[in-house]
Amino acid sequence: MAAAGLHLVGLAVCDLLGKNGASQLAKGTGISAKSMSNEKGSVGLGLLLCWGLNILHIVAGWGLIFFVMPVGLVVLGGIGLVQLAYVVPICLRYKAKGKTDFVKGMIIAASITALLNVGCWTTAGFLSG
């Protein structure tokens, strides 16, 4: 039972490391596992990049509030929609490179951000009136 769990952990690590990392891991540990990604990118990296860009987006929005109030409010308050300005070009570029799993991660992260943004605005609307 423990060996099966260790094997699954090895497969997950191989998937995260990609093809080259998987072969290095197999040499060092004796685990023979194929990478499940087939060099299509990583969903986790797509999630991290999108949310990292969203954090930069929020910081820029706060900065703009102090200098140009209306623009800062739109950038900060409409993150769910405004993020399309950087998510769509990145997705198109990586899809053309064949990194479809990376694109899936970007889309998942952007969707979660948009849904949270809509939820916050809906809650604020109910609380205000």
Residues 97 and 57 in one domain: yes
Residues 106 and 46 in one domain: yes
Query: Residue 25: pLDDT above 90?
Result: no
Confidence of residue 39 (pLDDT cuts 50, 70, 90): confident
Residues 61 and 94 in one domain: yes
Contact residues for 63 (Cβ-Cβ < 8 A; gap 6+): 72
Distance CA 94, CA 103 (A): 7
What is the mean pLDDT of the segment spanning 12-26? 48
Q: How many structural domains comprise the chain?
A: 2
Measured between alpha carbons, how far is residue 51 from residues 2, 67, 113 in Å? Answer: 35, 25, 8
**Domain that residue 63 falls in:** 40-128
Query: Residue 13: pLDDT above 70?
Result: no
pTM of the model: 0.65
Residues 47 and 33 in one domain: no
Summarize pLDDT for 102-121 with one digit per residue, the tens.
999 999 999 999 999 898 88
Residues 6 and 28 in one domain: yes
Choice between 77 and 87, residue whose per-residue pLDDT is larger: 87
